[in-house]
Structure 1
Amino acid sequence: MKAAILEKPGVIALCDVARPEPGPGEIRIRLEGCGVCASNLEPWAGQEWLTYPGEPGGLGHEGWGHVDALGEGVEGFKVGDRVAALSFRSFAEYDLAAAEMTIKLPGALEGRPFPGEPLGCAFNIFRRSDIRPGQTVAIIGIGFLGAVLTRLCSEAGARVIAISRREESLALARSYGAAETVPMDDHWAIIEEVKRLTGDAMCERVIEAVGKQWPLDLAGELTGFGGRLIVAGYHQDGPRQVNMQGWNWKGIDVINAHERDPAVQMQGLQEALDAVATGRLDPEPLYSHRFSLEQLGEALDATRDKPGNFVKALVMIA
């Protein structure tokens, strides 16, 4: 099969490698596509604790496609089923997934891309955020994740204040239900604007969806007394400092919303599947750029540089 290999920082090679064989409890998937995640950018840039080259298909964990072969003991699936899976080598023509980490896609999604992992992640973050009607929720960073959370929070009856750098992102947030938008350009100006919008009360919930130090600092400032700060950004480039004095004084709850329990991950995936299949959530406007497997390097660069109206890249394989 063809598989993309991260040979070294900034270099992808498309290689012919052995097609994997499913073991007991595993499913082999002939991939249609795989989403590109912002978490791919640190290996792409290079970090001293990483080793190169990576595994064939490595970095790809947002794949969907058709069941191609079944390992021993797998029940409930058949060859030809269209599925999404939580697997880890999906920048390739085939990947293996545990049957219990695979979900069937209904006919309502036929022909439509379904990068299940980030959609499921958004629903798990939403659940951990405990959004209630009438709350004011600030969402810092309106990319794919921030846009989906904007829709879910506004649908739940919250007033969403969307904060992001690009005007295209703020327009996207408005289209997904944000009541207010604030440019993410000046730390103190943002704080003063949120004070104005909330009558100095600040926000019952703040979701940080960037993964950098400044947005985390800003999130603490925007959280009101007794509120909840939800860390949805993926902080992977080193330690963080936090204003513990401020957090302690306000008595806020801090939630790290990245789930590692497989059962919880699959719960989010099922909730996302139900929402998209029934039309409650339409993520397709967020799939702004599509690339071939041969163009994976370009897809990673676009994810980093965010040209034009960029939201999320999909690598289309079959």
Structure 2
Amino acid sequence: MSGGSRAVVVDAPGVVRLVSGDRPEPGPGEVRIQVAAAGICMSDREVYDGRRDPAHVRYPVTPGHEWSGTVDAVGEGVDPALTGRPAVAEGFRACGTCERCRAGETSLCGAGYEETGFTCPGAFADHLLVPARLLHPLADGADLRAAALLEPAAVVAAAVRAGRPEPGERIAVVGAGTLGLLAVQLIAAASPAVLTVIDPRTGRASQAADLGASEVCTPAESVSVRGSYDLVVETAGAPTTAADSCLLARRGGRVVLTGMFAPGATGIDPVHLAVSQLTVRSVFGAPSAAWSFAVRAFTAGILDPGPLITHEFPLERYAEAVALVGGGGPETGKVLLRP
């Protein structure tokens, strides 16, 4: 090992320290990333607070699963030409050989859960090691600040691909947080006749409109348009939003659930599903194809996550930054750490 590198380490819920040491050296099949930016989401807040499912976190851990950076070293068997390339990488450490992986459903890997930032060291650090097979190189000169949001963008891409939006359809997005506003951009590219964003935070209306929404309303206002959407993409994960999304869809319509719900929170009426013949899908994480989709959209300029970023902090202020996530006001968007 050579040179210095810092990393945030959460030893246990609420117990965090900034450690310094040598730069990690990539092993066979790995690359080392010099981290440019790393986003903080509610899953990271759950790791810090101790509210994440114990099966999906392993302490001590360096969090950080939303990130961008530059390849600055490669291990044995990795193309040296990758050195210097801006890149992102998939978080799920899928095995690539099980039945689901061979079918292209890498986010459903049956070999056991391993994910960067939860069970493997993440990007709240100066440097990060990842398997080269999970790398998605970016174009030279890519905006790495914005590219840090390509992980949530890949999740949204999985949802949009599952929903199959078509030109001229009436489409609703429930929730105007990071996932919702990324969904608006990708869906707007499909030329819907109507693209409605539903969120109780009226202050999000102007940003949603700037990103492609044709109208914005509150949940109370949306009651009058129930049953009128071909596709509804749910991104909020609030106690009522799954049921509300099913009510917004027309008979024979499609609903994609992307938010993370508390157990028993969905409240979906199975009689309504049966009578309306709805197609309901869920999305957890993103398979490789959705990552490729998101990176292509980003490179083409269809997807611009930059306007969603509202706060940036150095590594030393991690505790302050993570407290802002989930605890900030309606003006708080995506929060980044910038090593």
TM class, shorter-length: 0.7 to 0.9
Q: Distance in 1 between matches of 2:230 and 2:156?
A: 19
SS at match of 2:240: helix
String of CA shifts for 1:53-87, please: whole Å, max 9, x gaps. Answer: 833422x1112212122111112643322221224
Please point out which of 222, 229, 240 is paired with 1:190: 222
- 5+ residue gaps, structure 2: 92-115, 117-121
| Amino acid across the alignment from 1:85 | A
Q: Contact conserved, 1:56 with 1:92, CA < 8 A, in 2?
A: no
Q: Does 1:103 align with 2:136?
A: yes
Q: Contact conserved, 2:37 with 2:144, CA < 8 A, in 1?
A: no
2:19 — aligned with what?
Answer: 15
Q: Contact conserved, 2:234 with 2:259, CA < 8 A, in 1?
A: yes
Q: Contact conserved, 2:86 with 2:142, CA < 8 A, in 1?
A: no
Q: Contact conserved, 1:3 with 1:16, CA < 8 A, in 2?
A: yes
SS at match of 2:59: coil
RMSD: 2.3
| Amino acid across the alignment from 1:42 | E
| Amino acid across the alignment from 2:76 | E
Q: Contact conserved, 2:74 with 2:80, CA < 8 A, in 1?
A: no
Residues 1:111 and 1:224: Cα distance change in structure 2 (over 3 Å): closer
Q: Does 1:243 align with 2:276?
A: no
- Per the TM alignment, residue 97 of structure 1 is displaced from its structure 2 partner at its CA by 0.9
After TM superposition, the structure 1 stretch with the greater mean CA deviation from structure 2, 278-287 or 126-135, is: 278-287
Please point out which of 248, 251, 269 is paired with 1:222: 248
Residues 1:110 and 1:210: Cα distance change in structure 2 (over 3 Å): closer
Matches within 5 A, 1:283-302: 283-302=305-324
After TM superposition, the structure 1 stretch with the greater mean CA deviation from structure 2, 304-313 or 157-166, is: 304-313
Instruction: State TM-score, norm by structure 2.
Output: 0.81
Q: Does 1:94 align with 2:146?
A: no
1:166 — aligned with what?
Answer: 201
| Amino acid across the alignment from 1:73 | G
Matches within 5 A, 1:41-190: 41-47=45-51, 49-50=53-54, 54-58=59-63, 60-75=64-79, 77-87=81-91, 88=116, 89-109=122-142, 112-115=145-148, 116-158=150-192, 159-184=194-219, 186=220, 189-190=221-222
Residues 1:191 and 1:111: Cα distance change in structure 2 (over 3 Å): closer
Instruction: State TM-score, norm by structure 1.
Output: 0.86
SS at match of 1:97: strand
SS at match of 1:304: coil
- Per the TM alignment, residue 112 of structure 1 is displaced from its structure 2 partner at its CA by 4.4
Q: Distance in 1 between matches of 2:46 and 2:311?
A: 20
Q: Distance in 2 between matches of 1:63 and 1:177?
A: 25
Residues 1:139 and 1:77: Cα distance change in structure 2 (over 3 Å): same
- 5+ residue gaps, structure 1: 196-200
Residues 1:43 and 1:68: Cα distance change in structure 2 (over 3 Å): same
Q: Contact conserved, 2:165 with 2:190, CA < 8 A, in 1?
A: yes
How many positions carry a matched residue from both structures? 302
2:332 — aligned with what?
Answer: 310
Q: Contact conserved, 2:36 with 2:145, CA < 8 A, in 1?
A: no
